[in-house]
Chains A and B, each alone.
Chain A
């Protein structure tokens, strides 16, 4: 292993600035003449707007502009879009309601955008925002996902009956019916996947800046995918042509999916900067973040798992209602469909699977991808079903999984729900997990806990993800409006240092380190002489950004492709300089040598020769930089087994996570410390979903009840144990690094492991997430 190469525990390059407070976040940026935006937001979940009077606000101190939806419409600014067309089971396109950046006649959730006030100072903007008079006609609210399509439920969008965007299906319903009829046992569960509210440490922020000299715009924004933001703001919102719009996403403090999407606020800031001829800045406060960031999950599911007499899974039927919130957010439609139904085979050979999903509108914040996006929902219901099936049929839960795993010699394995798994070592991973979790010793620990008056339980989660999103042709055939390749550019500077431009975007992942390790390994350049640049559409090639655990698998592969091109060009230069045939030049670890001789040339010397081509191959371009675009041939399939142990205080219902063990197969590991950190963070979010976090709207008023940290329970350090995390590396066979991605592992895997452990301790079939002390106490009272 090269020092700081692939596999090294290199210290993160970015931490020096982050830990010293010298990062550069959007709110750190201040532009000359900057004004401040405050948004007038709906206090109602559902209301018609019969009139808006902005005159008092416009006359208030420091105000430079007050705008409503009519002003945007007058300028031809388009609404926000959903970029993935889902076709329903009848072949009809999903119903996507208009989603104006500022309301036009109606508001559909608490926090919906009504108007914007721009003023010299933030305080003046906020003061004036309170002077905007909106005549609301309050309508009854619909916030219950399970009842959103019921008769009598208020309709949110006038032309969308039953509040339904689409009624989608996947799989063979008849085969499933047949298998269920013939099953020796059918396990049935009704499962709620609770709504989560993302809480990146940095709230969303934007600065729009119009430059009259160039007639161009710069938008500084908290984005996971600045190029995609530029594309959407240009092509659909009509802010400016793409070549006149620069989007900069500098240091971004966490995203978890919530900063993929193109939001109203950044759209308005960009547009308004030309209206008021000043840069316009907006930074969400935490209350705004709770209300208006896209939320995650929110499914209600009825599912059945059929087993034969030997415990083999014969069929799975899943019927889900998925809340979309009030509008379709940027990628909302693909989350409960192609990132969900397709994962329902899990690690198992279940031959018949059918999944039906109704995507429903409710008077709540839009729901879109949140760490895991669809895959946590699939994993949760499947791993809950498997655990309950084991208990109902008197089987050991590990053994039942082992019996149904896809065996290692079955790859590539095509599931009944479209995907072609490329590789996996499920049984070996489970065995390793049972080892580090000391599964054999559990009975003793349970007894010891019982003597202390505590209820101890254990739960498994053997999960799979589809990551490395995604092969463009495949997703295009499923309705994606974009390709999901990635771009990279690797530039040697004349003095031998390297600048790497990537279309991936880091918002906590440590790409500046991981990608530098890849380049150091490939090109033999000192790690400290490599700079990774991202987050600016004016720098480097177009890129699709970071989500779906795609950065190393897709973005990293693009970087490898660019490095390979440099090596091939370098070979030509070395052959010429060393007066040898190109076919005799061998490349290894940053040096080109003539086979069988001691004549060689370093990468740095080659780069210098390319920039100072005094003695240079005829016909070869000078310069030493290469671009590459990488489109994966398949998804990657990270998988693993996580094991949770809990103890419950039967007096109070408090759950303590006492032990958490994980064996994760994310393919080749570039930086073990970073990967472990990703797993730790993901598991913590998974534990958060399982026992702490819950996005709650009042059933009558549609008010967001969990709108602050007083009521929305973020996981804290003392809520989680020290984790035992180990890796099991089965390299991905179809990308050059053998990587699969690790960012979503824990958030996908952990919730069912935790709930399986809690229900094991309680001796109950089910408990809804989050398993709060009160819910656990209620379950104990029922038992």
Chain B
């Protein structure tokens, strides 16, 4: 990796101050994307601002409305939280299926959604449950947060502080894994909440997206049969050596049905 200046932030304000003071500063959360990128010399930040000491950014709170996960909470913590699991089992299951034990022990929800890897799992939960992302300066609806491949609504120097997920009557996430990386080739999060039915797809396209036709069909009949003939168009989906767009389009249907069956 290239040289950079390493900082440890003592609080949110300190982190924001340090990143704004840097020529090209980056927040370091769990580091499971950023550190390999640095080691491969694919990124050259001037400063890294490590968030790990900020206790205010860790923890899970459960209320009648839902589950709030603070940004630096690891995937393993979410997966292992009895309260979170009792409130929204699909969320805990999703967190428990991210990466491998090393990734889950270090990776965080804030890091994951801020990076917005097209094959990441958490964006499916954020959009699938209609969550709200809170930053140091505002609240952003889950539907508005993810704007493109590795792109979000975050401004420069803006820091995700927590994500609030509403409770769902029924919800499940089903992932078809890339055989090599075990990232999602396609992951579908299906939820029925007070706000209606949501079907959110990760992995298949450049960014998480919803499938309105499936949502309508499921709102009328929440069964896998109701969506078995709904094929999404392959236009705009990802293609690589593991899965071409037509296969991904097909898998969206398979994963959606399996998610519904698992609800």
Contact = CB atoms under 8 A, between A and B. Distances in A.
Interface of A: 126-127, 130, 287, 651-652, 692, 694, 696, 705-706, 709-714, 772-774, 777-778
B243 A713 contact: no
A652 B176 contact: yes
B180 A774 contact: no
Contacts of B243: 773-774
Given A711-B180, A712-B180, A777-B250, 8 more contacts: A652-B176, A652-B254, A696-B241, A706-B241, A711-B181, A714-B180, A772-B179, A772-B242
A47 to B, nearest CB: 21
B207 interface: no
Contacts of A652: 176, 251, 254
B101 to A, nearest CB: 13
A651 B186 CA distance: 14
Given A692-B179, A777-B250, A287 B242 contact: no
Contact of A710 (B180, B244, B247, B251): B180
Nearest to B186: A652
B165 to A, nearest CB: 28
Nearest to B2: A127
A30 B132 CA distance: 53
Given A774-B242, A774-B243, A774-B244, A709 B180 contact: yes
B40 interface: yes
A130 B178 CA distance: 33
A72 B242 CA distance: 42
Nearest to B179: A713
Nearest to B255: A652
A621 to B, nearest CB: 59
Interface string B6-39: 0000000000000000000000000000000000
A274 B251 CA distance: 59
A778 B242 CA distance: 12
B181 A709 contact: yes
Contacts of A130: 41
A591 B41 CA distance: 65
A774 B247 contact: yes
Contact of B241 (A126, A694, A777): A694
6 contacts: A126-B41, A127-B2, A652-B251, A705-B241, A706-B241, A773-B179
Given A774-B242, A774-B244, A777-B250, A710 B176 contact: no
Main secondary structure of the interface of B (DSSP, over half): loop
Contacts of B179: 692, 713, 772-773
Nearest to B258: A651
A89 to B, nearest CB: 36
Contacts of A714: 180
Nearest to A775: B247
Contacts of A710: 178, 180-181, 183
A777 B180 contact: no
A754 to B, nearest CB: 14
Contacts of B254: 651-652
Interface string B214-246: 000000000000000000000000001111100
Interface string B165-201: 0000000000010111101000000000000000000
A595 B79 CA distance: 75
Contacts of B244: 774
B59 to A, nearest CB: 32
Contacts of A127: 2
A694, A710, A712 — most chain B CB neighbours (10 Å): A710
A126, A711, A774 — most chain B CB neighbours (10 Å): A774
A773 B244 CA distance: 11
Nearest to A777: B247
Please name the 9 residue pairs, one residue from A and one from B, whose CB atoms are nearest each other, closest first: A713-B180, A710-B181, A713-B179, A774-B247, A651-B254, A774-B243, A696-B241, A711-B180, A705-B241
B242 to A, nearest CB: 7
A692 B178 CA distance: 11
A714 B182 CA distance: 11
A78 to B, nearest CB: 33
B37 to A, nearest CB: 12
Contacts of A774: 242-244, 247
Contacts of A713: 179-180
A287 B240 CA distance: 19
Contacts of A772: 179, 242
Nearest to B176: A652
A126, A651, A696 — most chain B CB neighbours (10 Å): A651
B207 to A, nearest CB: 19
Given A652-B176, A710-B180, A777-B250, A287 B40 contact: yes
Contacts of A706: 241
A127 B1 CA distance: 9
A711 B242 CA distance: 8
A467 to B, nearest CB: 31
Contacts of A709: 180-181
A288 B75 CA distance: 32
B175 to A, nearest CB: 11
Contacts of A705: 241
Nearest to B178: A710
A689 to B, nearest CB: 13
